[in-house]
Structure 1
Amino acid sequence: MISITTSNHKKVYFASDQHLGAPTMEASLPREKKFVAWLESIKNDTEAIFLLGDLFDFWFEYKKVVPKGFTRVLGKLAEISDSGIPIYFFVGNHDLWMKDYFEKELNIAVFHQPQEFLINQKKFLIGHGDGLGPGDIGYKRMKKVFTFPPFKWMFRWLHPDLGVKLGQYMSVKNKLISGEEDFKFLGAENEWLVQYCKKKLQENHYDYFVFGHRHLALEIKLTENSTYYNLGDWIQYYTFGVFEETRFSLSKFN
């Protein structure tokens, strides 16, 4: 378990689901600039930054090639990382084919599964959130295919011009990947991530569960001492999480 202790009244920030590149690179450019402006605005008072997946709408790392674009956000992340601020990245369902580019080029830790963190002595379980809990059977089957090593090996043999174009098209058009039909709140009892968190509480205590994926800014009390948060997105809401001293809250970047 990674332990973080904030100093000098600094904060820990959380954001997810920027989906840069969707529906086109041109259309997402204003959102990229806005996200970069947010990173610039927080860099002087942050102890650590957590990015909880789907930073890109499609991402695939060939051995020598990564998708074109995203210069502004990658440059800003490199600047922040180089300044000594740790950044933790959790792959989402749109960038699950991430390998070691972030680790080698940007010195950003990359996680493929939810992880436990101890921040100011508060216990967190943090992840993107896709495929957790009951339901979502179609996506879970698709994820097994996408993460199957022979499938990734075969996809890598596609020329990047073809592979990236195909991946971008599927990310936008395939509802199992994009999840567009699921971005509605139908009550805490119908939230798969809430059910997942409640099950995890039967095994261990967590003060905070923090996830993305749902594109909805949510704060749901699980027990007297445990709360589930979803971070929303940077497509409609521009919401993010802040942990200061021992308190977690959701906020919006205007």
Structure 2
Amino acid sequence: MIKITTSENKKVYFASDQHLGAPTAEASFPREKKFVAWLDTIKKDADAIFILGDLFDFWFEYKTVVPKGFVRVLGKLAEIKDAGIPIYFFVGNHDLWMHDYFEKELNIPVYHAPQEFLINNKKFLIGHGDGLGPGDKGYKRMKKVFTFPLFKWMFRWLHPDIGVRLGQYMSVKNKMISGDEDAKFLGEENEWLVQYCKKKLTEKHYDYFVFGHRHLPLEIKLQKNSMYINLGDWIQYYTYGAFSENTFNLLKNE
């Protein structure tokens, strides 16, 4: 378990689901600039930054090639990391083919599953959130195919001009991949991430569960001292999380 203790007047920030590149590079460019401006603002008082997946709407790492674009956000992340601020990146369902580019080029650790963190002595379970809980069966089957080593090997043999274009098309068009066709609150009994968190609480106590993927800002009290938080997105809501001392706030970037 990674331990983080914030300094006085410092915070830990969380953001998810920017989906840069969707529906087109040109259309998402203003959102990229807005996200980069936010990163530039929070670096003044950030002790750590968590990016919880789907930063890109499509991402695939060939051995020597990555999708072009996203220079501003990659440059800002490199600047912040080089300044000594830890950044933790969690792979989402749109960038699940991320391998070691962030680790080698930016020195940013990449996680493919939820991880436990102890922040100011509060226990956090943090991840993107795709494929967790009792539902999402169609996506779970699709994820098994997409992460199967033979499938990735075969896709890598496509020329990048073909592979990236195909991946971008599928990512924008396929709602099963996007996971945002029902971005409205379904009630606690139908929110599969809520059910996942409640089941985890039967095994171990967590003060905070922090996820993305749902594209919907949510704060749900699970028990007296346990909260489920969904960070929303940077497409419609522009919301993010900020944890300081012992308080978590879900905020909107105006």
Question: TM-score surpassing 0.5?
Answer: yes
CA contact (8 A) 2:134 2:192 kept: yes
Which residue in 2 is equivalent to 1:148? 148
1:4 aligns with 2:15: no
Which residue in 1 is equivalent to 2:109? 109
- Give the 3-state SS of the residue equivalent to 2:181 in structure 1: helix
Which residue in 1 is equivalent to 2:172? 172
C-alpha distance in structure 2 between counterparts of 1:167 and 1:183, whole Å = 23
1:79 aligns with 2:79: yes
* Percentage of pairs with the same residue: 83
**Counterpart code for 2:101:** Y
Which residue in 2 is equivalent to 1:136? 136
**Counterpart code for 1:216:** L
Q: Scaled by the length of structure 1, what TM-score is found?
A: 0.99
C-alpha distance in structure 1 between counterparts of 2:204 and 2:182, whole Å = 29
C-alpha distance in structure 1 between counterparts of 2:80 and 2:230, whole Å = 24
How far residue 181 of structure 1 moved from its aligned partner, in angstroms, is 1.5
Q: Scaled by the length of structure 2, what TM-score is found?
A: 0.99
Which residue in 2 is equivalent to 1:161? 161
In the alignment of these two chains, the number of paired residues is: 254
C-alpha distance in structure 2 between counterparts of 1:102 and 1:30, whole Å = 23
C-alpha distance in structure 2 between counterparts of 1:54 and 1:179, whole Å = 11
Q: Structure 2, unaligned stretches of length 5 or more? A: none
Q: Would you identify which runs of 4 or more consecutive aligned residues in structure 1 move more than 3 Å?
A: none
CA contact (8 A) 2:180 2:215 kept: no
How far residue 37 of structure 1 moved from its aligned partner, in angstroms, is 0.4
How far residue 175 of structure 1 moved from its aligned partner, in angstroms, is 1.1
Which residue in 1 is equivalent to 2:245? 245
- Give the 3-state SS of the residue equivalent to 2:74 in structure 1: helix
How far residue 62 of structure 1 moved from its aligned partner, in angstroms, is 0.3
How far residue 186 of structure 1 moved from its aligned partner, in angstroms, is 1.4
How far residue 184 of structure 1 moved from its aligned partner, in angstroms, is 1.4
How far residue 132 of structure 1 moved from its aligned partner, in angstroms, is 0.1
Q: Structure 1, unaligned stretches of length 5 or more? A: none
**Counterpart code for 1:113:** A
1:234 aligns with 2:230: no
CA contact (8 A) 2:180 2:214 kept: no
C-alpha distance in structure 1 between counterparts of 2:210 and 2:135, whole Å = 20
Which residue in 1 is equivalent to 2:39? 39
Which residue in 2 is equivalent to 1:90? 90
**Counterpart code for 2:100:** D
How far residue 202 of structure 1 moved from its aligned partner, in angstroms, is 0.5
**Counterpart code for 1:206:** Y
Q: How much is the aligned-residue C-alpha RMSD, in angstroms? A: 0.5
Between stretches 180-189 and 212-221, larger displacement belongs to 180-189
CA contact (8 A) 2:183 2:214 kept: yes
